[in-house]
């Protein structure tokens, strides 16, 4: 719709009225006898062209000669601000106009990346160039779960793995079912391996735009990777691809325009981003917003997102969208005049929220973006409040309005909301306070602690809550949780007691949590302690005294000796385990087949290393003689100890342990345990555990009620 309106307005524009040479005379001078005069006229034309010249320019191009058209294209391509004119001409049905528009786009691309070429990505020298550009990122490993769309997978990849090159989803691919959510299994590897996996599981084609260093012709620099339909790989040069995306972005068909704009936002071309920004500011074009949003999430920010008028309009549209989602419209809403174009027609609220969180805390006129975001927040609008607090937290500015809104949500009893909804809001308020304010001043104590702790839907959310509690300084108090509290809620509460150093204030509080957990089955109780150790592992490195205090309490409980040892190991307090005698006591009480191999691996090179190695070998022998007792983590733990000894230049000990393991495995080389150890590359060179990539969190419509 915007493209049609733009062309209609500009096509009917009247003749120019400027004090300098008119457009006609400048074009005439493009064919002057003297080369210097022709060049000067081209420069003046580039300086004087305006968006409103489209109508006059189109009429001139209909009758202009070849040299005039080429010089007009050069003038248009010499400045980023002329990309609107170039794109409009490239989308015109008249051949002469379309050619000039495309030439101008190619000229502008030449200023950005001269000599762009394209080849299938796996061809040399591209594979080596991509690995070289990855640098340190080439070895980091990640895990990506299946069941999400290709765009969601790339969002997660860019948020966590931060690839060093742009990755573009070709509009030709976005329009096919192949880009929709799929059922691939989880993928694991470096970011390049994940990209290869996504391509292979979806039968997607992949090529790359690159430039060759003239001085070192064997070295290519990849500018962007394009995911497209297999039959389109390597057919068009990158400049033709980008010109096509610009034509798509001009389409009167909204989805087509949005797909083209997204590709432009993903490829990283500054001139295209500037053009999309101008379109958004001029007419609130929804396709342009789609391109700006995806660019912001990829790290390319446009000042247009901070235009004060558009920012306020966008927040109002977001607020209406999230609060009314799934709610039947009222009669007044049905009878209200229809707005021609919804600015959110081609984006989701969470996409826009993530982009605004990167855009900045000051609007272009100097006013506060946080004031605009949080102006209508509160318990009456829980969905919008949740989204706005997330954006404000990402901005990281300790604004008084943020403290007021977050503080009110934490202290309010939120009577109109049930425990899950109240917990969601208070968890979001704590996260925003922690990110923007920190612990000075401390956040108020949450009024709905059971709901807050119970709002976590997995270890990922529990980990974020624990971090927010510690960074914000909020106090959960020492009152025990109600009997119906979930295992994960108990684990978060116990981890907070330990990590926040509250053991001196209420040393029995942790014991009370563990006693309450005793009514659970042994497996559930152990899982609670495992979750507690996992949560503490992220925060305990700088909280050693607190962990020591917890260990002293756990050591005083004979039934918790094993859990205390494992907890200390996961929190990096191995010396406390080794010198405290906890390991020996736990082994004596539980038996060698019940000790966690991960704990033994952590202790395998320390003061009790020989005892830990013996226990691992004994567990291996059990698995070799009886396949039903085979535990793969035992083989992994033995390998970890061997590699740790080698890294510590204790080669003799490492080779001795490897020989003992292989000797034990030969007792019955047919079993899975033996085959794992007798493999030629055991113990291998495993990297660090992969980072789990999660798609950006969606607005919790299913967890929060609509607002008033």
Six token digits for residue 110: 């030449």
- Rounded to 5 degrees, φ, ψ at 485 are -65, 145
Higher pLDDT, 481 or 523: 481
Question: What's the length of the chain?
Answer: 708
Q: How confident is the model at residue 22 (pLDDT cuts 50, 70, 90)?
A: confident
Q: What is the mean pLDDT of the chain?
A: 77
Q: Where is mean pLDDT largest: 107-121, 122-136, 201-215, 449-463?
A: 449-463
Of 278, 298, 318, the domain-final residue = 298
Q: Let me know whether 663 and 562 are in one domain.
A: no
Q: Are 183 and 147 in contact (CB under 8 A)?
A: yes
d(CA 110, CA 77): 9
Higher pLDDT, 79 or 325: 79
Q: Is the pLDDT confidence value at 657 over 90?
A: no
The sheet with strand 117-120 has its strands ordered as: 117-120, 205-212, 220-228, 166-169
Residue 59, judged by CB atoms within 10 A of its CB (0-12, 13-18, 19+), counts as middle
Q: Which residues have a Cβ under 8 Å from the Cβ of 355 and sit 6 or more positions away? A: 292, 293, 294, 296, 297, 305
Decide if 60 is inside a domain. yes
Please compute the mean of the pLDDT values over residues 14-26 and round it to a whole number: 55
Q: Let me know whether 138 and 206 are in one domain.
A: yes
Q: Let me know whether 104 and 134 are in one domain.
A: no
pLDDT of residue 572: 47
Decide if 211 is inside a domain. yes
Q: Is the pLDDT confidence value at 543 over 90?
A: no
Of 531, 565, 590, the domain-final residue = 590
Q: Is the pLDDT confidence value at 590 over 80?
A: no
Decide if 324 is inside a domain. no
Query: Other CB atoms closer than 10 Å to residue 177's CB: what's the count?
Result: 7
Q: How confident is the model at residue 311 (pLDDT cuts 50, 70, 90)?
A: very high
Q: Let me know whether 46 and 87 are in one domain.
A: yes
Six token digits for residue 549: 């205090």
Q: Let me know whether 572 and 603 are in one domain.
A: no
Q: Are 508 and 552 in contact (CB under 8 A)?
A: no
Q: Are 291 and 265 in contact (CB under 8 A)?
A: yes
Decide if 126 is inside a domain. yes
Residue 70, judged by CB atoms within 10 A of its CB (0-12, 13-18, 19+), counts as middle
DSSP for 564-585? HHHHHHHTT-HHHHHHHTHHHH
Q: Are 210 and 222 in contact (CB under 8 A)?
A: yes
Of 236, 261, 290, the domain-final residue = 236
Q: Let me know whether 195 and 288 are in one domain.
A: no
DSSP for 366-432? S-BHHHHHTTT-STTSHHHHHHHHHHHHHHT---HHHHHHHHHHHHS--TTS-HHHHHHHHHHHHHH
Domain count for the chain: 4
Query: Other CB atoms closer than 10 Å to residue 241's CB: what's the count?
Result: 25
Q: Is the pLDDT confidence value at 549 over 50?
A: yes
Please compute the mean of the pLDDT values over residues 238-244 and round it to a whole number: 87
DSSP for 584-621? HHHHHHH-GGGS-HHHHHHHTTSTTHHHHHHHHHHHHH
Q: Which residues have a Cβ under 8 Å from the Cβ of 212 and sit 6 or more positions away? A: 115, 117, 219, 220, 221
pLDDT of residue 26: 81
Decide if 413 is inside a domain. no
Q: Is the pLDDT confidence value at 365 over 90?
A: yes
**Helix/strand/coil (H/E/C) assignment for every residue in 138-188:** HCCCEEECCCCCHHHHHHHHHHHHCCCCEEEECHHHHCCHHHCCCCCCCEE
d(CA 667, CA 59): 90
Residue 44, judged by CB atoms within 10 A of its CB (0-12, 13-18, 19+), counts as middle
pLDDT of residue 566: 54
Six token digits for residue 23: 């457009």
Q: How confident is the model at residue 2 (pLDDT cuts 50, 70, 90)?
A: very low
Q: Let me know whether 294 and 260 are in one domain.
A: yes
Q: Is the pLDDT confidence value at 214 over 70?
A: no
For residue 506, give the nearest of 549, 557, 563 by alpha carbon. Answer: 549
Q: Let me know whether 105 and 249 are in one domain.
A: yes
Decide if 266 is inside a domain. yes
DSSP-based three-state secondary structure for 692 = strand
Of 82-86, 210-214, 280-284, 410-414, which gets the smallest average pLDDT?
210-214
Q: Let me know whether 123 and 101 are in one domain.
A: no
pLDDT of residue 520: 64
pLDDT of residue 694: 58
Six token digits for residue 544: 């050693």
pLDDT of residue 690: 57
| Percent composition of the chain: helix, strand, coil (DSSP 3-state, to 5) | 65, 5, 30
Q: Let me know whether 85 and 160 are in one domain.
A: no
For residue 143, give the CATH number of its domain: 3.55.50
Domain coverage including residue 689: 592-708
Q: Are 153 and 695 in contact (CB under 8 A)?
A: yes
Q: Let me know whether 100 and 156 are in one domain.
A: no
For residue 277, give the nearest of 554, 143, 269, 692 by alpha carbon. Answer: 269
DSSP-based three-state secondary structure for 474 = coil
d(CA 652, CA 658): 10
Q: Let me know whether 207 and 103 are in one domain.
A: no
Report pLDDT digits (tens) over 156-188.
888 777 788 899 999 998 877 655 555 556 777
Q: How confident is the model at residue 16 (pLDDT cuts 50, 70, 90)?
A: very low
Decide if 500 is inside a domain. yes
Cis peptide bond upstream of 441, omega within 30: yes
Decide if 171 is inside a domain. yes
């Amino acid at each position: 719709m915007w493209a049609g309106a733009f062309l209609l307005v500009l096509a009917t524009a009247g003749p120019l009225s400027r004090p300098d040479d008119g457009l006609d005379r400048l074009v005439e001078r493009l064919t002057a006898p003297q080369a210097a005069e022709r060049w000067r006229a081209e420069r003046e034309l580039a300086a004087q062209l305006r968006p409103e010249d489209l109508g006059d320019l189109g009429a001139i191009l209909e009758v202009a000669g070849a040299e005039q058209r080429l010089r007009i294209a050069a003038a248009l391509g010499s400045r980023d601000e002329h990309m609107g004119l170039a794109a409009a001409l490239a989308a015109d049905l008249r051949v002469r106009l379309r050619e000039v528009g495309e030439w101008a786009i190619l000229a502008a691309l030449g200023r950005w990346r001269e000599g762009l070429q394209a080849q299938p990505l796996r061809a040399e020298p591209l594979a080596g160039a991509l690995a070289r550009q990855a640098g340190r990122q080439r070895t980091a490993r990640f895990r990506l779960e299946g069941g999400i769309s290709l765009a969601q997978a790339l969002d997660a990849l860019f948020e966590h793995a931060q690839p060093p090159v742009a990755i573009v989803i070709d509009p030709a691919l976005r329009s096919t079912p192949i880009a929709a959510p799929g059922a691939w299994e989880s993928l694991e590897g470096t970011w390049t391996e994940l990209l290869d996996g996504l391509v292979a599981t979806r039968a997607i084609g992949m090529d790359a735009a690159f430039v060759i260093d003239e001085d070192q012709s064997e070295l290519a620099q990849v500018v962007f990777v394009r995911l497209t339909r297999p039959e389109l790989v390597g057919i068009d040069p990158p400049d033709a691809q980008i010109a096509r995306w610009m034509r798509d972005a001009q389409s009167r068909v909204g989805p087509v325009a949005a797909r083209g704009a997204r590709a432009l936002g993903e490829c990283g071309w500054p001139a295209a981003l500037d053009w999309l920004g101008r379109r958004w500011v001029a007419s609130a074009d929804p396709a342009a917003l789609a391109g700006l949003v995806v660019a912001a999430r990829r790290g390319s920010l446009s000042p247009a997102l901070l235009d004060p008028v558009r920012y306020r309009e966008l927040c109002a549209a977001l607020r209406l969208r999230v609060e009314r989602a799934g709610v039947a419209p009222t009669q007044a809403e049905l009878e209200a005049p229809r707005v021609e174009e919804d600015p959110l027609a081609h984006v989701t609220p969470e996409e826009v929220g993530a982009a605004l969180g990167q855009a900045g805390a000051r609007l272009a006129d100097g006013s506060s973006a946080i004031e605009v975001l949080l102006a209508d927040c509160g318990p009456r609008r829980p969905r919008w409040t949740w989204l706005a607090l997330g954006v404000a937290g990402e901005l990281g500015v300790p604004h008084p309005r943020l403290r007021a809104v977050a503080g009110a949500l934490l202290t309010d009893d939120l009577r109109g909301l049930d425990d899950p909804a109240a917990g969601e809001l208070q968890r979001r308020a704590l996260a925003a306070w922690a990110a923007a304010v920190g612990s000075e001043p401390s956040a108020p104590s949450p009024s709905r602690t059971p709901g807050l702790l119970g709002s976590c839907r997995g270890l990922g959310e529990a980990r974020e809550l624990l971090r927010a509690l510690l960074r914000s300084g909020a106090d959960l108090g020492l009152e025990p949780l109600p009997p119906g509290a979930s295992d994960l809620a108990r684990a978060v509460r116990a981890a907070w007691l330990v990590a926040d150093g509250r053991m001196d204030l209420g040393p029995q509080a942790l014991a009370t949590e563990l006693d309450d957990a005793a009514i659970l089955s042994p497996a559930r109780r152990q899982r609670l302690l495992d979750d507690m150790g996992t949560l503490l592992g992220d925060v305990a490195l700088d909280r050693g005294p607190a962990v020591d205090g917890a260990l002293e309490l756990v050591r005083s409980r004979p039934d918790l000796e094993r859990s205390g040892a494992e907890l200390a190991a996961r929190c990096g307090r191995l010396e406390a385990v080794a010198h405290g005698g906890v390991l020996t006591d736990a082994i004596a009480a539980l038996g060698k087949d019940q000790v966690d191999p991960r704990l033994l691996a952590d202790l395998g090179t320390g003061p009790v290393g020989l005892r830990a190695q013996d226990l691992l070998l004994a567990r291996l022998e059990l698995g070799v003689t009886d396949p039903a007792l085979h535990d793969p983590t035992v083989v992994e733990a033995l390998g970890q100890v061997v590699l740790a000894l080698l890294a510590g230049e204790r080669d003799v000990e490492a080779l001795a342990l490897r020989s003992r393991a292989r000797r034990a495995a030969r007792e019955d080389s047919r079993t899975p345990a033996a085959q794992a150890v007798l493999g030629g590359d055991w113990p291998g060179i495993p990297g660090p555990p992969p980072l789990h990539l999660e798609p950006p969190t969606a607005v919790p419509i299913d967890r929060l009620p609509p607002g008033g």
